[in-house]
């Protein structure tokens, strides 16, 4: 499996930490696949929320802002000067809140915030998720998003593991309330699927959350274009990191 490459990120002095937040119902360990595809100058750091993956024994969380605060406390000793954040769907909002929380704690701003398959936080309306959904309703939602193989949806043992996490994440989305703050001092880059049901205008509204530049790209595919167009999406991420790295080197 060949790695993607970009000359501007190949120097060891340009190593960038990329902290990755999962989408609803998922584990961040899925991002470890990217370590095989990205150049070694990008250090993938999956950020695992409690209740899943290696943290299965911990209680699930339903307060997004509180979770972001706790994760920022965990990340603060780990972040170096060159780091970025990536989140897909609900993970994008969590990454956004973590960026604010890290800056509030005195950390340097991320080099770039990558937000994928999510409306800007000011425009998200997940009130229909504020009440717990039944197993059947959760499976219907997974089927609608077309990111889970039908065989997995029909596997009761697998669903017994996935659905409690998904239910908690949906409650987290339903309870989230946007708070207006000063725009982030780092660039924001938004990725989205052209056939997703999130309107392009709602993706573009992320531009109001940065005082330092905004980029947006639509990819063929739906909500999980990130799997269907993985290499194209990773190219976009690499280009964004390389551009910021070059800008800092010139400063």
The predicted pLDDT at position 9 comes to: 56
Structure tokens belonging to residue 201? 């205008």
The predicted pLDDT at position 129 comes to: 86
Q: What are phi and psi of 88, to 5 degrees?
A: -110, 130
Say which residue, 8 or 122, is predicted with more confidence: 122
Q: If we measure between CA atoms, which residue out of 85, 82, 56 comes closest to residue 68?
A: 85
* Catalytic hit among 89, 116, 195, 207: 89
- What is the rounded CA–CA span in Å between residue 55 and residue 200? 35
- What is the rounded CA–CA span in Å between residue 12 and residue 107? 22
- The domain locations on the chain are 7-124+178-244
Q: If we measure between CA atoms, which residue out of 70, 121, 111 comes closest to residue 91?
A: 121
End-to-end CA distance of the chain: 36
* Over residues 36-48, mean pLDDT: 95
- Does the structure show a pLDDT above 80 at 212? yes
- What is the rounded CA–CA span in Å between residue 161 and residue 56? 10
- What is the rounded CA–CA span in Å between residue 104 and residue 125? 26
Q: Tell me the pLDDT tens digit for each residue of 161-174.
A: 999 999 999 999 99
The predicted pLDDT at position 137 comes to: 92
Percent of the chain with pLDDT over 70: 92
pTM above 0.95, yes or no: no
Q: If we measure between CA atoms, which residue out of 225, 111, 94, 107 comes closest to residue 169?
A: 94
- Going by their DSSP bridges, the two strands 214-219 and 188-193 should be labelled as parallel
Question: Is 20:47 a contact under the CB 8 Å cutoff?
Answer: yes
- CATH 3.40.50.970 holds for 7-124+178-244: no
Question: Is 98:154 a contact under the CB 8 Å cutoff?
Answer: no
The predicted pLDDT at position 250 comes to: 40
Known active-site residue 89: yes
- What is the rounded CA–CA span in Å between residue 113 and residue 130? 27
- State the pLDDT confidence band at 116, using cuts at 50, 70 and 90: very high
* CB atoms near residue 49 (< 10 Å): 27
The predicted pLDDT at position 245 comes to: 73
Q: Which residue(s) pair with 113 in the sheet?
A: 85, 188
Q: What is the mean pLDDT of the chain?
A: 91
Q: Tell me the pLDDT tens digit for each residue of 5-24.
A: 555 455 545 799 999 999 99
Q: What are phi and psi of 112, to 5 degrees?
A: -160, 145
| 3-state secondary structure string across 137-194 | HHHHHHHHHCCCCHHHHCCHHHHHHHHHHHHHHHHHHHHCCCCCCCCECCCEEEEEEC
């Amino acid at each position: 499996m060949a790695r993607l490459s970009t000359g501007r990120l190949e120097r060891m002095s340009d190593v960038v930490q990329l902290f990755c937040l999962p989408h609803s119902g998922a584990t961040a360990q899925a991002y470890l696949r990217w370590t095989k595809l990205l150049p070694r100058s990008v250090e993938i750091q999956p950020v695992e929320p409690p209740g899943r993956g290696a943290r299965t024994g911990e209680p699930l969380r339903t307060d997004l802002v509180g979770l972001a605060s706790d994760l920022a406390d965990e990340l603060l000793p780990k972040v170096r000067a060159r780091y970025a954040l990536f989140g897909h769907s609900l993970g994008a909002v969590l990454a956004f809140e973590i960026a604010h929380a890290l800056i509030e704690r005195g950390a340097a701003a991320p080099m770039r915030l990558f937000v994928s398959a999510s409306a800007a936080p000011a425009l998200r309306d997940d009130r229909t998720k504020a009440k717990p959904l039944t197993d059947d309703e959760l499976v219907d939602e997974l089927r609608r998003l077309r990111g889970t193989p039908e065989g997995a949806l029909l596997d009761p043992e697998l669903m017994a593991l996935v659905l409690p996490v998904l239910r908690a994440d949906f409650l987290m989305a339903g309870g989230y309330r946007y708070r207006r703050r000063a725009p982030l001092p780092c660039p924001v880059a938004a990725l989205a699927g052209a056939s997703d049901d999130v309107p392009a205008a709602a993706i573009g509204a992320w531009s109001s959350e940065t005082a330092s530049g905004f980029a947006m790209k639509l990819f063929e595919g739906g909500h999980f274009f990130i799997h269907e167009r993985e290499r194209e999406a990773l190219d976009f991420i690499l280009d964004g990191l390389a551009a910021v790295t070059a800008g800092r080197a010139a400063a």
